[in-house]
């Protein structure tokens, strides 16, 4: 029952992450939206706050991975049991799908009014700024996710975990309680600095699940779902998470 609740909270946290994250993409790009044209800074901040909200929801129960790359990296680094990884990943992928469907329902009128199929796809998943360089795109996703997972693992180092001593009681404040704030800044920093090439997927549940939703939903005037590129924002983050775990084990 305890593990089932962890899966439930991973599902809920990831669903809200995508609802707000894809939501800011829809708000800033779909026709007739009051936020249209708000720009990259709003998008990166929106994604940062989306992650923060998901972490606050799930952190105290599941640790709020919200990302298969994080779960795989944590398992490789010895921070979680491998037996829990499949359930976490399934919950995250389902949460990403449901979150994307909710965004479409929320902005349905605006999707109907928007003519550009590329714009519609961009509210669900990532595509590269320059097409035809999948190897470099893979490198970018790997490096960006390496940074994300490595810093998340480093947050857990004793010297980086804030503590309070009150009347002899040693209280640890971990990722679930306080970690959402620094993770928010980390996501914003990665988006602002490293997001210009691929849109910084960083997360298979953020990209593959909404891409599948785009393919299945009856979206008026949609284009293809970019399946020839879809392996990059899955393989890149998984490789980055694995490299982050290796780096963490070598250094710490």
Residues near 211 by beta carbon (within 8 Å), at least 6 away in sequence: 124, 125, 225, 226, 227, 230
Segment 94-115 mean pLDDT: 98
Burial of 192 (0-12, 13-18, 19+ CB in 10 A): middle
Report residue 45 as tokens. 């901040």
Instruction: Please tell me which of 62-76, 93-107, 150-164 the model is most confident about, judged by mean pLDDT.
Output: 93-107
Residue 36: give the domain boundaries.
2-251
Number of structural domains the chain divides into? 1
Which of 2-6, 166-170, 201-205, 208-212 is least confident?
A: 166-170
Q: Which two tokens stand for residue 18?
A: 């995508």
pTM: 0.92
pLDDT digit string, tens, across residues 76-103: 999 889 999 999 999 999 999 999 999 9
Residue recorded with tokens 């190897």? 135
Q: Inform me whether the pLDDT recorded for 231 exceeds 80.
A: yes
Q: What percent of the chain has pLDDT over 70?
A: 90
Helices (H), the chain: 2-29, 40-62, 68-76, 85-106, 108-113, 117-122, 134-155, 180-194, 204-216, 232-251
Whole-number pLDDT of residue 169: 43
Higher pLDDT, 164 or 12: 12
How high is the pLDDT of residue 1?
79
Task: State the DSSP code for 218.
Answer: -
Q: Specify the CATH number for the domain of residue 191.
A: 1.20.1080.10
The closest of 99, 87, 96 to 1, measured between CA atoms, is 87
């Amino acid at each position: 029952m305890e593990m089932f609740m962890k899966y439930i909270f991973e599902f809920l946290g990831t669903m809200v992450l995508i609802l707000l994250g894809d939501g800011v993409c829809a708000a800033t790009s779909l026709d007739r939206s009051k936020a249209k044209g708000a720009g990259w800074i709003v998008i990166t901040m929106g994604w940062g706050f989306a992650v923060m909200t998901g972490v606050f929801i799930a952190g105290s129960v599941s640790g709020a991975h919200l990302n298969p790359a994080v779960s795989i990296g944590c398992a490789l680094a010895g921070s979680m049991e491998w037996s829990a990884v499949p359930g976490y990943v399934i919950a995250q992928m389902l949460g990403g799908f449901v979150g994307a469907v909710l965004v479409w329902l929320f902005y349905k009128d605006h999707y109907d009014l928007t003519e550009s199929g590329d714009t519609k796809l961009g509210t669900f998943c990532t595509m590269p700024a320059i097409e035809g360089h999948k190897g470099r795109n893979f490198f970018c996703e790997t490096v960006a996710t390496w940074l994300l997972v490595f810093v998340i693992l480093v947050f857990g180092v004793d010297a980086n975990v804030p503590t309070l001593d009150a009347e002899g009681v040693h209280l640890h404040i971990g990722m679930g309680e306080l970690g959402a704030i620094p993770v928010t800044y980390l996501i914003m920093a990665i988006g602002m600095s490293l997001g210009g090439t691929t849109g910084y997927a960083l997360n298979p549940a953020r990209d593959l699940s909404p891409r599948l939703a785009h393919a299945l939903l009856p979206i008026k005037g949609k284009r293809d779902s970019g399946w020839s590129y879809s392996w990059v924002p899955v393989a890149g983050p998984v490789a980055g998470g694995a490299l982050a775990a290796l780096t963490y084990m070598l250094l710490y």
